[in-house]
Each structure stands twice: as structure tokens, then as C-alpha cells.
């Protein structure tokens, strides 16, 4: 049983941090809960930043995890705009803020998330070069897209991953000219492989997006502080008024590393290494969300998952583990995306090289189907595109590791649930 005079400190006020604080109180913890975040905004959800909120369809107020008064009402001590810059594991303290305030913890949760990778090419300090991670970034980008749409301006996006594509869709809705530059041969190559990447290429081309695959951005050309063009390693110059760097995110592990906590190997995505209870190499320190690398025995590896559902579920799981509850975190990776009128959900894990077949159930041409990534007859992952309410059977199929009849898997008339033993 956890004593009422204990102090639990949460570093990072994203979705994982806010949900962990909520769970501590919901589970009856009456000790101190201190949540420290370097952002000035109350904890918010990031998916709308590249979709509804960026498009001006979702109000700013709708992105917050809790209303501001919720924190005081639940006796959560919130320190916003304050960076934690050191952990002393012997004294069990964290140091934060400009005045170096020290606070003692009994249990500590690191939910420091990830930060956008920076382009390392000449010209990145020009005012028209953007990243998208924070609410303030989205609000700035919203103004940029509206102005580009109004003036027939050009946006160059480096990276055809989820954020790059979602912003491309938003920019086209604003009427901006959009060029996407991607070193891989298809969009989303590292997640979906080449088979499904083409679908996204076609979708975006139909909406007027230009793609340049197999090339790297080498320079952002500017004059008097203003972006003029983006240059690629094939010698081409692409007109640009603004550039978005959407080349992925890196886990914010600096604090954990300086404190001597074990990190996961970079080849596995890096991050703070945790066990199945989300506990780090220090038994009083936990980690969850984008920054944590947890073991997934189903796939025989550890994974760092940069998706909303992992923060939504991982924060609460860590909170329960901190309270000494018997908690094993083994959620399947799950994410969703919306681009134009296409909506999708993906469950599982099947990077290129891990599967030997992609099975399509439904009509890929109409963009209403489920794709399954299969190895030796076992489903590793499934993605439903404009088909809904199938996440549960897809996840059961993946978890079952059953060898399925791939003809039945491809046949929309065979109920998915019937394929799970």
C-alpha cells in the first residue's frame, strides 16, 4: 500500500503525463502529485495539430486533455513553462525551473515525449522553415497555410511520413501549392512498405500534390531571410515560400541518459528502456509514451511507439505500476490518420522485411479495404481504410498468431471474427 505522504513526480505534460496524473487520483492515491512541463500550455493532444485544428475546424479549447481547473480540483501541482534539467537518483530529487527548485520524489515518471528531427542543411534558420510538434507550431503553421493559399504560394514538405502527408492534405485544402520531397521510393515506406505507399501517392497526386521520391533536400535557398526555393541532390530547385521539416522525431532521453538510466539501442528506435511494467533500470523511475521503449514478446523485440494510443494507455499503466498494482503493458501498436476523405486505423507491427505477403480484403481502388501484412500465414498487422469497427477482430487476429487461410482473409464475405481460433 502506498503511503499518503508520498510524492509522485511526473516530468512531461503531454497526453501520457496528464493521463498518468488522472489515473493516480482515480486509483485513490492521496499523496502529492507534481506534474512539471516545459510547455506553457496545459497538457493537450497532438493529433488535431496536423488535422482539425490546423484546418481551423477544431477550436483551440478542444485539444486540451482536461480543462485548466481540473488540475487544482484534483490537487495536481502543475508547473508549466518549467524544464526539469537534472535527476539525482541517490537523493531522489529532480531539479527544475530557472531558480533550480529541488523536489523530492518517491516515484518518478518520465514522459518527456519526442522532438522533431532537424534538417541539417544550409538555410534551416530562415524564418519560413517550420516544424510541427507543439500547439504554438500549429497555430503559426495555420497562418502560413492560409497565407500560402491566398497568395498561390508554395509549401515544400521534407518527408512523406504521417505528419508530412497530413500537412500536405491540409495545405491543399487551404489552396497552397505543395511539393513533397522524400528519399524513399514511396510515402510511408518505413511503416507500410512499398505496396501500400503507392495508394497514398495516388491519393495526394489526385489532390494536386507533387512528389519527388528518391531525392534528398540539400539546401533551402533564401534571400534577405526569406525562403525562395528548396534544392535537392538531383540538382533540381523547387519553388518554395515556406518549408516544413517533417522528417521524424527523436525521443527526449537527455535527462534519463544524464541520470544513468538504461537506454534502448538506436537500431530499435532508442528511447528509455523499460520492462513490461514500464519500469526503467531504476526501480523508482518509470517511463511511458513516445520516450519509452518497452518489450513486446509477441514480436520478439522491444519497441518505441510514437502514437497517441500508446500515450493514452501507457501513462495510466505506468501510474498503476507506480502504485504497486500488478500491471503488464503489452498493448499492440495502434494509430490512426485522416487525410482528405480517407480515414484509417493500423494495428500491429510489420516494417518492410518482416512480412512476405500483403493481403487486401475489399476494394483498394475505391479506398475501402483492409490490408493485412502476413508472414508465413500469420497476420502481423492490419490497416482498415474507410472501413470501421474492425479494430478488435484485427487485433485478435494479430495476437492469436494463428496461421490463417489467406483466401478467406481476402474475402469480405468471411467474417473476420471467424478467422480467429
Ligand X SMILES: Cc1cc2nc3c(=O)[nH]c(=O)nc-3n(C[C@H](O)[C@H](O)[C@H](O)COP(=O)(O)OP(=O)(O)OC[C@H]3O[C@@H](n4cnc5c(N)ncnc54)[C@H](O)[C@@H]3O)c2cc1C
CA separation, residue 403 to residues 193, 336, 376 (Å): 22, 26, 7
Burial, 390: exposed, middle or buried (Cβ in 10 Å; 0-12, 13-18, 19+)?
middle
Q: Are strands 285-287 and 107-110 parallel, antiparallel or unpaired?
A: parallel
Q: What angle do CA 300, 200, 216 make, to 5 degrees?
A: 80
- Count CA atoms within 13 Å of residue 390 on its CB side: 28
* Dist CA 230 CA 181 (whole Å): 9
Smallest CA-to-CA distance from 18 within 38, 39, 44, 41 is with 44
The region of 191-199, 273-281, 304-312, 316-324 touching ligand X under the rule CB under 6 A is: 304-312
The verdict on 71 binding ligand X (CB under 6 A) reads no
Q: Is 10 in the site for ligand X (CB under 6 A)?
A: no
Kindly write out the interface string for residues 332-371 of this chain, putting x where it contacts ligand X by CB under 6 A and - elsewhere: ---xxx----------------------------------
Cell of 313: 494507455
- Contact in structure between 123 and 221 (CB atoms under 8 Å): yes
131 part of the interface to ligand X, by CB under 6 A: no
Provide the grid cell at 183.
Answer: 528519399
Count of residues of this chain found to bind ligand X when the rule CB under 6 A is applied: 36
Task: Pick the closer one to ligand X by CB: 129 or 404.
Answer: 129
Q: Is 319 in the site for ligand X (CB under 6 A)?
A: no
Answer yes or no: are the C-beta atoms of 263 and 256 closer than 8 Å.
yes
Mark the segment that binds ligand X (CB under 6 A) among 67-75, 186-194, 301-309, 390-398. 301-309
Determine contact, residues 168/157, Cβ cutoff 8 Å: yes
Candidate segments 44-52, 227-235, 369-377, 403-411, binder of ligand X by CB under 6 A? 44-52
Q: Is 157 in the site for ligand X (CB under 6 A)?
A: no
Decide: is 83 part of the binding site for ligand X (CB under 6 A).
yes
Nearer to ligand X, 177 or 306 (CB): 306
- The verdict on 112 binding ligand X (CB under 6 A) reads yes
Q: Would you count residue 270 as binding ligand X (CB under 6 A)?
A: no
Q: Which stretch binds ligand X (CB under 6 A): 66-74, 331-339, 385-393, 397-405?
A: 331-339
* Least distance to ligand X, CB of residue 106, Å: 19
Residue 189 sits in the site that holds ligand X (CB under 6 A): no
313 part of the interface to ligand X, by CB under 6 A: no
Packing angle, helices 189-206 and 162-174, rounded to 10:
10
Alpha carbon 2 to chain centroid, angstroms = 32
Question: Of these, 32, 154, 231, 252, which contacts ligand X (CB under 6 A)?
Answer: 252
Kindly list the residues in this chain that would bind ligand X in the complex (CB under 6 A).
11-17, 36-39, 46-47, 49-50, 83-84, 111-114, 132-133, 163, 252, 255, 289-290, 306-309, 311, 335-337
Amino acid at each position: 500500500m502506498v503511503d499518503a505522504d508520498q510524492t509522485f513526480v511526473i516530468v512531461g505534460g503531454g497526453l501520457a503525463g496528464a493521463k498518468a496524473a488522472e489515473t493516480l487520483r482515480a486509483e485513490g492515491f492521496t499523496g502529492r502529485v507534481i506534474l512539471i512541463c516545459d510547455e506553457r500550455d496545459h497538457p493537450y493532444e497532438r493529433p488535431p495539430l496536423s488535422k482539425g485544428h490546423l484546418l481551423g475546424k477544431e477550436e483551440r479549447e478542444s485539444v486540451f486533455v482536461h480543462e485548466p481547473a481540473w488540475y487544482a480540483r484534483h490537487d495536481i501541482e502543475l508547473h508549466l513553462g518549467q524544464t526539469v534539467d537534472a535527476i539525482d537518483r541517490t537523493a531522489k530529487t529532480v531539479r527544475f525551473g530557472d531558480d533550480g527548485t529541488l523536489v523530492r520524489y518517491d516515484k518518478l515518471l518520465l514522459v518527456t515525449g519526442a522532438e522533431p528531427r532537424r534538417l541539417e542543411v544550409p538555410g534551416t534558420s530562415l524564418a519560413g522553415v517550420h516544424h510541427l510538434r507543439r500547439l504554438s507550431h500549429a497555430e503559426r503553421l495555420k497562418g502560413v497555410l492560409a497565407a500560402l493559399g491566398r497568395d498561390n504560394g508554395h509549401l515544400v514538405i521534407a518527408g512523406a511520413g504521417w505528419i508530412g502527408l497530413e500537412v500536405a492534405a491540409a495545405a491543399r485544402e487551404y489552396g497552397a501549392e505543395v511539393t513533397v520531397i522524400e528519399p524513399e521510393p514511396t510515402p510511408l515506406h518505413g511503416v507500410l512498405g512499398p505496396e501500400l505507399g503507392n495508394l497514398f501517392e495516388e491519393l495526394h497526386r489526385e489532390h494536386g500534390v507533387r512528389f519527388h521520391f528518391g531525392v534528398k533536400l540539400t539546401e533551402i535557398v533564401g534571400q534577405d531571410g526569406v525562403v525562395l526555393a528548396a534544392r535537392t541532390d538531383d540538382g533540381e530547385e523547387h519553388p518554395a515560400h515556406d518549408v516544413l521539416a517533417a522528417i521524424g522525431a527523436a525521443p527526449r532521453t537527455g535527462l534519463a541518459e544524464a541520470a544513468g538510466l538504461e537506454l534502448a539501442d538506436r537500431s530499435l528506435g532508442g528511447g528509455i528502456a523499460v520492462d513490461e511494467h514500464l519500469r526503467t533500470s531504476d526501480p523508482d523511475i518509470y517511463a511511458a509514451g513516445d520516450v519509452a521503449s518497452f518489450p513486446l514478446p509477441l514480436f520478439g523485440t522491444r519497441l518505441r511507439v510514437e502514437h497517441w494510443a500508446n500515450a493514452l494507455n501507457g501513462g495510466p499503466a505506468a501510474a498503476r505500476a507506480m502504485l504497486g498494482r500488478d500491471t503488464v503493458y503489452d498493448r499492440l501498436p495502434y494509430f490512426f490518420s485522416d487525410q482528405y476523405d480517407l480515414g484509417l486505423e493500423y494495428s500491429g507491427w510489420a516494417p518492410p522485411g518482416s512480412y512476405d505477403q500483403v493481403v487486401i480484403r475489399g476494394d483498394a481502388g475505391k479506398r475501402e479495404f483492409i490490408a493485412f501484412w502476413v508472414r508465413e500465414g500469420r497476420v502481423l498487422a492490419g490497416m482498415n481504410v474507410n472501413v470501421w469497427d474492425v479494430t478488435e477482430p484485427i487485433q485478435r487476429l494479430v495476437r492469436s498468431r494463428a496461421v490463417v487461410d489467406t483466401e478467406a482473409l481476402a474475402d469480405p464475405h468471411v467474417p473476420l471474427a471467424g478467422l480467429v481460433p
